[in-house]
Amino acid sequence: MTEQIQPVRGMNDVLPAEIAAWHIIETAAREVLTAYGYQEMRVPLVERTELFQRAIGEYTDVVEKEMYTFVDQGGESLTLRPEGTAGVMRALISNGMLRGQRHKLWCTGPMFRHERPQKGRYRQFHQVSVEAVGFPGPDIDIELIALTARLWKRLGIERVRLEINSLGTPESRRAYREKLVEYLRAHHDELDADSRRRLEGNPLRVLDSKNPDMRALIEAAPVLTDHLDGESREHFQGLCAALEALGIPFRVNPRLVRGLDYYSRTVFEWITDALGAQDAVCSGGRYDGLIGQLGGESTPGIGFAMGIERLVALLTQAGAPAAEPTADVYIVVSGERASAYGLQLAERLRDALPERRVELNLGGGNFKTQFRRADRSGAAVAVILGEDELARGVAAVKPLRHDAGQSESPLPDLAAAIQTALATAVHT
């Protein structure tokens, strides 16, 4: 037998039986974002490698070791997007959309990171990524967090909690960084290999270490929030006070530094204890310097992204949502002429009932087989068309999910008869 081709590690198929949860999350996100005035946009999956190097930072895990980078036929170094923010900011600049304008935007789709795959961590994963550009905050910071809290409520997701922190301005962070480096150098012998490497390039990331042996050292390190500049402190206090006023519980986590370099001031994460090690379901923060860094006119920005796979896992933990039916109406046909006519009838019904899913039995089969397929399709109503019905110019309409008897309808009135039957039908 010919050898099968294996799927790529860390890249998942989403099967029809699993898609209902995806749709629930995507629909809820779209509705909540629309209600807050966010517009969808789409950007390429592939960008110049330099974009991510400049936006995310040379010394981040993402850029150092996780990017899917390749040289294309034209000799250009391109990269599959590891996240959405850099591409959206590039698009705003390329399309001349800044110039003092403000934008509330979102996009969704796959992202690619060559991480070690495990539950909740994949090499192709999906985000809903949200960006607000041109708002200095903190009002927008608060609104964005309120938006996410509303989304969890809409989805019935309860096991999430909010952590926030402020990274200050690049200047105050630089001053803090010096203090931190001094402290870490003094404890150089206790640092693991990863932290020693980070100490040189990006010492703040040492605070993000997941190594339990590093915990005590990190606990005792100088705290960023103690070194904030006045304006950042005020910004952060405004955020905390407003979250309290809105009744959104949060914890200030001074060790929350995030893995991407473009952040300044507010950073936040929604964490769950229900998914094991991969506990962040939604993370983001303010990136006031990013657009300038990419060559655009300096404009403040803030955003977040949520991991759809992780939200799907949270949603299905309480019981997977039922698979979506493929049909509302299933047409059962018997006999050669009726089968041929069935194709026309199905098209006519799709014209007349554009909101309904109309499935025609294809490939023949006796009544028993066809009704089994009708049942599996989830249809609430079957239309039965045999040679006898066709000769008389009628079709039978049979509710499938309750006991009401079957009725007959002249073919020209069939769409209306189906609507009536569907209106009284109960989906199981």
3-state secondary structure of 87: helix
For ligand HAM, give the closer residue by CB, 209 or 377: 209
- By CB under 6 A, residue 309 contacts ligand HAM: yes
Contacts 24+ apart (CB under 8 A), 214-220: 214/190, 217/187, 217/190, 217/191, 218/255
Binding mask 128-147 for ligand HAM (x = CB under 6 A): -x-x----------------
Shortest CB 94 distance to ligand HAM, Å: 18
Q: Are 148 and 239 in contact (CB under 8 A)?
A: no
Which span sits near ligand HAM by CB under 6 A: 68-76, 225-233, 300-308, 402-410?
A: 300-308
For ligand HAM, give the closer residue by CB, 108 or 377: 108
How many DSSP H helices and E strands does the chain contain? 15, 16
Residues 232-261 touching ligand HAM, rule: CB under 6 A, are: 259-260
Q: Are 206 and 218 in contact (CB under 8 A)?
A: yes
- Quick one: which of 133, 184, 306, 327 contacts ligand HAM (CB under 6 A)? 306
Q: Which two tokens stand for residue 325?
A: 């039916």
Shortest CB 269 distance to ligand HAM, Å: 7
3-state secondary structure of 410: strand
Length of the chain: 428
User: What is the C-alpha to C-alpha distance for residues 411 and 405, in angstroms, rounded to an integer?
Assistant: 19
- Quick one: which of 85, 165, 202, 299 contacts ligand HAM (CB under 6 A)? 85
Shortest CB 57 distance to ligand HAM, Å: 12
> The tokens 């330099």 sit on which residue?
50
- By CB under 6 A, residue 115 contacts ligand HAM: yes
339, containing H or E segment = helix 336-352
- Quick one: which of 121, 235, 356, 373 contacts ligand HAM (CB under 6 A)? 121
For ligand HAM, give the closer residue by CB, 84 or 342: 84
Which span sits near ligand HAM by CB under 6 A: 157-165, 194-202, 307-315, 381-389?
A: 307-315
Phi, psi angle pair for 89, to nearest 5°: -65, -40
For ligand HAM, give the closer residue by CB, 269 or 359: 269
3-state secondary structure of 73: coil
196, containing H or E segment = helix 193-201
- By CB under 6 A, residue 122 contacts ligand HAM: yes
Contact positions vs ligand HAM (CB under 6 A): 83-85, 113, 115, 121-122, 125, 127, 129, 131, 259-260, 280-285, 287, 303-307, 309-310
